[in-house]
């Protein structure tokens, strides 16, 4: 009876249409150097957009005079115009890293890790994922129309 319960529990945690399942498929794609499949689970455009947003929000929150704030807001507008170029560059770099023979060790942590060492808090069609233990890195996932989940934002606590 206990083995059957364990199998049912494990199957329930990795069923399709769960963040954990999508992360497991992303892990497999990375280890197989399959960039097309990996991009199914990572939205580079959204990640870059969120990073730029967070950078400017950080600078704006620290600005103490109106001229600095105006300069930051103007820079944000220019960055918005350059966002497609930055996203394309990031996508090309990520693709090159995935397709590489991994001599730089980009995916050592993926090879050694497991989706079972991630805390996943799901709220409707979004989920926040972070490694178990002490880490200030986490990321947000969003469920797509076909049911799979995609990383859309990398966050710092």
Identify the residue with better confidence: 22 or 14: 22
Q: Which stretch of DSSP H or E encloses residue 72?
A: helix 66-99
Q: How confident is the model at residue 154 (pLDDT cuts 50, 70, 90)?
A: very high
Q: What is residue 45's predicted lDDT score, i.e. its pLDDT?
A: 96
Which pairs from 8-15 meet CB under 8 Å and 24+ separation? 14/115
């Amino acid at each position: 009876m206990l083995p059957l319960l364990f199998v049912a529990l494990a199957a329930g945690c990795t069923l399709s249409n769960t963040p954990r399942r999508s992360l497991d498929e992303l892990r497999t794609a990375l280890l197989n150097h399959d960039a097309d499949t990996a991009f199914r689970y990572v939205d580079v455009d959204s990640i870059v957009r969120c990073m730029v947003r967070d950078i400017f929000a950080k600078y704006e929150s620290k600005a103490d005079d109106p001229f600095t704030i105006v300069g930051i807001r103007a820079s944000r507008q220019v960055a918005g115009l350059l966002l497609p170029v930055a996203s394309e560059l990031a996508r090309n770099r990520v693709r090159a890293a995935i397709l590489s023979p991994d001599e730089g060790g980009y995916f050592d942590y993926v090879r050694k890790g497991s989706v079972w060492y991630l805390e996943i808090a799901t709220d409707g069609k979004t989920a926040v994922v972070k490694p178990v233990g002490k880490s200030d890195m986490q990321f947000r996932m969003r469920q797509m129309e076909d049911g799979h989940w995609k990383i859309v934002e990398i966050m710092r606590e």
